[in-house]
Amino acid sequence: MFKKYFICFFLLLVSCAINPVTGQRELMLISETQEIQIGKDVSPSAHWEFGGQYHDQALESYLKGIVIRIWQNSERPYLPFEFHIQNTSIPNAFALPGYVAITRGLLSDLENEAQFTAVMGHEIGHVMARHTAQRLSRTTLYRLGLSLSEAALGGTKGADTLLTLGAIGSSLLLLKYDRGQELQADRLGVKYMSVLGYDPQEALRAHEILEKTVDDYLRRLGKTRNEDTFISNLLSTHPRKDVRLSEIQAMIYELPPYRIRGDGTFRRRFQTELNRIKEINKVYHVYDKAEVYYQKKNFQSAEQRVREAIRLNNEQAPFYNLLGFIKLRQQNYSEAQRAFENALSRDPGYQPSIYGSGLVHYFRENYTFAINNFKRSIDLYPDHLGSHIGIGKSYFLTKNYRQAIPYLEKFSRVVPSHPEVHGILGICYENTDNRESAIREYRYQLQIAPDTELGAHAQKRLAVL
């Protein structure tokens, strides 16, 4: 115990680094090299958690040029990065070490380059101030503290309830920032705007647009900010709108002298470049309503809406993908497969439809083809839980127990209350002569779902083992 506490104390003493923004020393258990690697490892999952890429090479190239200028005038311009437009109506933007993105839903409502620079400058500011590394350092200390507490309690609880970074995936890195970090990112955002010659007053308008876009999006979903949604959680540390605007205005007043280029907004150029995505985004409003109906299991209305979206624009892979999942729900596997193929003909790397095609093969008991599709899905989206349990169950049903275990284990760590996974894992472990692990999983099965067929099997096998 003394050694463990000494290690913790030693880490607190030596794990400090100079913050590149403030110039002050602060606790940092994550090195810059590790920070870059984490961003690289997590970005594929972050990419797909927000809809995948919106494909418009000319638009992306234009916007990336602006992002490059922000990056070059930041505190760590040597860091690698890539920029993408995420194909989702969720109004959001985010930046990880190595990955910068804005969603179609937010981008389409912006009015000029200055507002885009304000949004991206804010997100890039989070990276430059090492806010992601700060949160990971705090999480590491929290986990270490729980481990020490577990040791003090004789190991009765603790480590088994913790999620590893790999299991958490990008969700950890995209959690909300605290209020102090948000303010620091605001300050950096307006600074980058002034350095690049944009009118920093447009940061105020950008924030107003974000607020309105969020409310419009939630209204289309039939929700409000008071409900427990991803966006309301994400924005919960943001100060009230009037407070935020007054704080940004104060930051602008404190800027050193700057020169505005042109009109400071470049509105006309921006509107011309974004004309197509703005029109397509309106069609996605129809698709969003189809998704709402799908979530409510009103598949008939969902199909009507998504077919309307396809009629308005038949080149969007997500439209056919949703139709495929509607048909899966209706157990119409032929039409489901046709819909997924239509999606993939428009976007060959569209992960949701690769996964959907895997489900078609799974339900048709074509397990070899299902496994191939699920593996392709994981190659694109490493933390996709549906693909992990899909492979695990496919291997299990073909009696390839040893191959099934790592996929089922990963799924069970993230969704420990699933009613089947522990029973299936118990069978897999028992058939690979791992008696101790089989007993553990059967016991979990009885705790979670004892009144199922797998629960009865677990009870029977525990009596034997």
Question: pLDDT at position 27, please?
Answer: 57
What's the confidence (pLDDT) of residue 180? 82
Residue 259 lies in a domain: no
What pLDDT digit, counting tens, does each position of 321-362 carry?
999 999 999 999 999 999 999 999 999 999 999 999 999 999
Q: Based on the fold, state whether residues 29 and 164 are members of the same structural domain.
A: yes
Q: Average pLDDT, stretch 268-284?
A: 98
Q: What are the tens digits of pLDDT across the range 158-208?
A: 223 222 222 233 344 444 677 888 888 999 999 999 999 999 999 999 999
* Residue whose structure tokens are 């920032």: 177
pLDDT tier at 38 (50, 70, 90 boundaries)?
confident
278 vs 178, residue with greater confidence: 278
Domain boundary, last residue among 325, 347, 376: 376
Structure tokens of 361? 């093969």
> Do 32 and 147 have their domain in common?
yes
Asked whether residue 249 falls in the same domain as residue 361, the answer is no
Q: What percent of the chain has pLDDT over 90?
A: 69
Residue where a domain stops, chosen among 341, 376, 411: 376
Residues 190, 329: one domain? no
Are 92 and 221 contained in the same domain? Answer: yes
CB of 445 closer than 8 Å to CB of 426: yes
Q: What is the pLDDT of residue 24?
A: 57
Within this chain, do residues 361 and 387 fall inside the same structural domain, yes or no? no
408 and 365 assigned to the same domain: no
439: DSSP letter: H
Q: Are residues 125 and 212 in the same domain?
A: yes
pLDDT at residue 70 greater than cutoff 80: yes
User: Is 413 a domain residue?
Assistant: yes
Domain that holds residue 443: 383-465
Q: Say which CATH number the domain at 442 has.
A: 1.25.40.10
Calculate the average pLDDT of the chain. 85
How many domains in the chain?
A: 3
Q: What tens digit of pLDDT does each residue of 412-449 get?
A: 999 999 999 999 999 999 999 999 999 999 999 999 99
Spacing of C-alpha 197 from chain mean position = 32
Q: pTM of the prediction?
A: 0.85
Q: What is the pLDDT of residue 244?
A: 83
* Average pLDDT, integer, range 90-117: 94
Residues 134 and 202 in one domain: yes
Structural domain contains residue 265: no
Which of 127-141, 147-161, 365-379 is predicted least confidently?
Answer: 147-161
Flag whether 38 is in a domain. yes
Q: Quick count: other Cβ atoms within 10 Å of Cβ 308?
A: 15
Mean pLDDT along residues 74-87 = 93
Q: Which tokens is 236 given?
A: 């919960």
Domain boundary among 376, 410, 431: 376
- List all residues 6 or more positions away from 252 whose beta carbon is below 8 Å from its beta carbon: 190, 200, 201, 203
Q: Write the single-letter amino acid at 361.
A: H
Question: Do 445 and 358 belong to one domain?
Answer: no
**391 and 372 within one domain:** no
CA distance 181 to 197: 25
Q: How far out from the chain centre does Cα 93 lie?
A: 11
Buried b (16+ CB within 10 A) or exposed e, 285-305: ebbbbbbbbbeeeebeebbeb
Residues 39 and 164 occupy one common structural domain: yes
